[in-house]
Chains A and B, each alone.
Chain A
Amino acid sequence: MILGKVTGTVVTTISHPHYKNRRLLVVQPLTLKGDKADGDFLALDTTHAGIGDTVLVNREGNGARAVLNNPDGAIISLIVGIVDQVTVETVN
């Protein structure tokens, strides 16, 4: 899983059934100081995260299908938690 920051929202009226009535958010992975902030992606939200929240994102289909309790779910990135605090011991 990775840590990311929600920086946007996506509204889709026409979408695949698995994506219905759930928010789709734009997530930017957290990076170390000096690294360029890229590699952003979209993630389905299950935690009512909003723009500016730091979130925990699961980026693997099986995990997403387990959380969503949908064995055929066509979802990869899923926000599974809103992070309150992060402690980093060493930074290379």
Chain B
Amino acid sequence: MLLGRVRGNAVSSVKYPDLKGMKLLVVEPLNKHLEPSGPLQIAVDVVDAGPGDLCVMVRSREAALAMKEHKFVPVDLALVGVVDELVVRPDGDFDFNLVKGTTKYS
């Protein structure tokens, strides 16, 4: 799962029938520092996110599983949460390196 910012919405009238009634939002995937980490994409909204909201998104089959009733719809990105609070410590606080030998973490 990943973070995403709602940038707008999309309306489609001619589409796969099962996508009827699904709210399509234009989203921009973000990394943990809220910097864009990919191109704008379309996600199906399940949590009534509005424009500008920071959201939690899920990709691939799990996005289809997140739909309310239809399980087998051609959806590969879904908004599954609206972020209220995001706490991210700066990278400098941690050592992400895997080094040769034994490293104790606790």
Contacts and interface: CB of A to CB of B under 8 A. Distances in A.
Main secondary structure of the interface of B (DSSP, over half): mixed
Interface of A: 3, 5, 7-16, 18-19, 24, 26, 28-33, 37-38, 40-44, 51-54, 61, 72-77, 82-91
B82 interface: yes
Interface stretch (B9-17, B18-26, B85-93): B85-93
Interface residues of B, number: 44
B22 to A, nearest CB: 14
Contacts, number: 148
Given A30-B96, A53-B105, A75-B62, 16 more contacts: A5-B94, A10-B3, A10-B85, A12-B84, A18-B66, A24-B56, A31-B97, A33-B99, A38-B31, A38-B37, A40-B32, A41-B1, A61-B65, A72-B71, A87-B102, A90-B100
B83 A75 contact: no
Given A11-B84, A14-B48, A74 B65 contact: yes
B1 A7 contact: no
B105 A86 contact: yes
Contacts of B86: 8-11, 26
Given A28-B96, A54-B105, A77-B1, A9 B56 contact: no
B94 A61 contact: no
A12 B97 contact: no
Interface in B50-71: 56, 58-63, 65-66, 71
B58 to A, nearest CB: 6
